[in-house]
Amino acid sequence: MLFDPSNEIKNALSYARQFSLEKELFYIDSQMILLGLLDSFTNTLEIEDPEKERIITWLQALDWERNTFFNILTSIPITLEAERMLKNAAYYQKKLKDEYLQPSHIMLSLLSIDNLCRVKLETLGITFSTYLLRLEASRGEKLQVPFRSPRIKSSRNFPYIRWFYKARERITLAKKHLAEARDFLQYYDRKSCRRLCRYILQLDPTHTEGLWLMGVAWAADRHFEKAVPFYEKVLQKHPQHIGVLSQLGNCYSQTGDKNRAIELYLRALSVNPSSPELLNDVAFVLIDLQQYDRAITLFDQAIAIDDQHSNAYSNKGYVLMRLGYFSQARELFREALEMNKGNAYAYRNFALLYLQERNIPAAKEMLLKAQLYGFKGKYGNEVDGLLRSIDNL
């Protein structure tokens, strides 16, 4: 029967409840449920033991937020985001025509939500697409299961009535819209996120978080030119904010203004000179300006600070490949993918190396992996174009 949990799900929920009590958190969220599934030695999760151990270690080390309003006489509540995740898991249960809600449905649902948990799973090579392939292999059949994030509805809005709200009512309504906009962004409904941000900015045109979220939603859809004005307004209010400087730098880099991008990244580095992400970002732009020696120096600095920075290894390898050092580039690409199996850009770089070596089958394999790990959504259509070129050879 739909929504009926399997024994494994029941055990995972029990584990999550006990974990929450021991940590004195007094709530159950989706990450605790995942921890329960991983630590219950279930055989139906389709995740290898080394992967399990790495995720368990990461989850247990999280800085969990405490519930200060818990009443010990009441049951421990499941958070709203966990409830939405479970309802979305039931959607996958229905699509797979399974009698009980199983761990695999939970995994598919978790991989449909944009959060830190999904990002961590991706570094292990576990995405919605690759996990579906694992399920197909274990079930021995082709599965037609479309990607779907949790479905939520925003509160009813009456745009013209807003002009009659008093200051306190405007603040309250903006907070409500902001919370809903964040949820829509997490569930990949960026259009609805932007709609709510527009409502917020009608109430308060200088609302920092509304401006920021609007920029994030446009940039996530790769409309960088539309994100710039919103980020610029946030920067005017917070000229030393590293996140704003970094995101705005990325937008200018993507729209072709490399010098402005470097200026912003360097401003961010002046605030946090030991950030491997910023060092990598500056060096990445320098590649386009053909300042290869300087780029390599910055990639090396990033790696010295964080020897697990997959992008820095991959990007340094790309520079070395451009300079003709193929063997060194190959080793760096391998290291990058050992650190992050879901690094779509590293697969792209590897493919370019194989194309240089006229190894077309290996290049195509790498391009297909880049495609599998979401290159298009993150970086654009380059990989699709390269695959078409190979097919036309």
The sign of the CA dihedral 252, 255, 259, 260 is negative
Q: Is the pLDDT of residue 268 over 80?
A: yes
- DSSP character at residue 5: B
Query: Taking 90 as the threshold, does the pLDDT of residue 154 lie above it?
Result: no
Q: Is 90 exceeded by the pLDDT of residue 392?
A: no
Mean pLDDT of the region 106-122 = 94
Whether 127 and 29 map to the same domain: the answer is yes
The average pLDDT across 80-93 equals 94
Structural domain span for residue 195: 152-221
Q: Is the pLDDT of residue 299 over 70?
A: yes
Please tell me whether residue 78 adopts helix, strand or coil conformation: strand
Q: What is the mean pLDDT of residues 298-321?
A: 98
- 28 with 73, same domain: the answer is yes
Instruction: Return the number of other C-beta atoms located less than 10 Å from residue 322's C-beta.
Output: 15
pLDDT at 161: 53
Q: State the pLDDT at residue 15.
A: 92
Q: Could you tell me what percent of the chain has a pLDDT over 70?
A: 94
Is residue 2's pLDDT more than 60? no
* Residue 122 included in any domain: yes
Last residue of a domain, one of 139, 173, 199: 139
349 vs 43, residue with greater confidence: 349
| Whether residue 369 has pLDDT greater than 90 | yes
Tokens of 233: 């307004």
What integer is the mean pLDDT of 90-117?
A: 94
Euclidean distance between CA atoms 8 and 198, whole angstroms: 44
Average pLDDT, the chain: 92
pLDDT bin (cut points 50, 70, 90) of residue 1 is very low
Domain assignment of residue 97, yes or no: yes
Mean pLDDT of 152-157: 75
Task: Examine the pLDDT at 73 and tell me if it is beyond 50.
Answer: no
Question: Within this chain, do residues 24 and 106 fall inside the same structural domain, yes or no?
Answer: yes
Average pLDDT for 341-365 = 97
Residue tagged 């996530």 (tokens): 220
How far is residue 150's CA from residue 84's CA, in Å, rounded to a whole number?
6
Query: Are 92 and 177 members of one domain?
Result: no
Q: Assess whether pLDDT exceeds 70 at residue 160.
A: no
Determine the average pLDDT of the residues in 27-40.
Answer: 90
Q: Are 332 and 320 in contact (CB under 8 A)?
A: yes
Query: Is 13 inside a domain boundary?
Result: yes
Q: Is residue 212 part of a domain?
A: yes
One domain, residues 12 and 135: yes
From 326, 335, 311, 384, select the one nearest 359 (Cα to Cα). Answer: 326
CATH number at residue 52: 1.10.1780.10
Model pLDDT, residue 157: 63
3-class secondary-structure state, position 329: helix
Q: Tell whether 125 and 167 lie within a shared domain.
A: no
Distance CA(115)–CA(93), nearest Å, equals 22
Give the integer Cα–Cα distance in Å for 84 and 389: 42
Residues 41 and 91 in one domain: yes
Domain end: 112, 139, 166, which one?
Answer: 139
Q: Do 142 and 121 contact (CB within 8 A), yes or no? A: no
In the predicted structure, residue 177 carries a pLDDT above the cut 70: yes
For range 375-383, the mean pLDDT: 95
Distances (CA, A) of 96 to 105, 138, 146, 185, 220: 9, 13, 11, 27, 30
- Tell me if 95 is assigned to some domain: yes
Q: Among 23-27, 177-181, 317-321, 326-330, whose mean pLDDT is lowest?
A: 23-27
Residues recorded for the chain: 393
Q: Are residues 112 and 207 in the same domain?
A: no
| 50 shares its domain with 124 | yes
Name which of 90, 96, 85 is nearest 136 in CA terms: 96
Tell me which H or E stretch contains 171.
helix 167-186
Q: Establish if 287 belongs to a structural domain.
A: no
Q: Is the pLDDT of residue 386 over 50?
A: yes
Does 252 fall in a domain? no
Examine the domain organization and report whether 128 and 29 are in the same domain: yes
196 assigned to some structural domain: yes
Same domain assignment for residues 66 and 132? yes
Say yes or no: 132 and 175 in one domain: no
Q: Rounded CA gap, 44 and 126, in Å? A: 15
Based on the structure, what is the number of domains in the chain?
2
- One DSSP character per residue, 177-227 reads HHHHHHHHHHTT-HHHHHHHHHHHHHH-TT-HHHHHHHHHHHHHTT-HHHH
199-to-33, 155, 196, 218, 231 alpha-carbon distances in Å = 35, 12, 5, 16, 18
Nearest to 175 by CA among 215, 203, 216, 217: 203
Q: Which residue reads 């939405």 in tokens? A: 84
Range with the poorest average pLDDT among 38-47, 117-126, 272-281, 327-336: 38-47
End position of a domain, from candidates 199, 221, 243: 221
In the block, tokens 């199996």 appear at 341
Q: Is the pTM of this model over 0.85?
A: yes
Output the six-digit token pair for 366.
């790498």
319 half-sphere exposure, CB direction, 13 A CA radius: 24
What pLDDT score was predicted for residue 167?
80
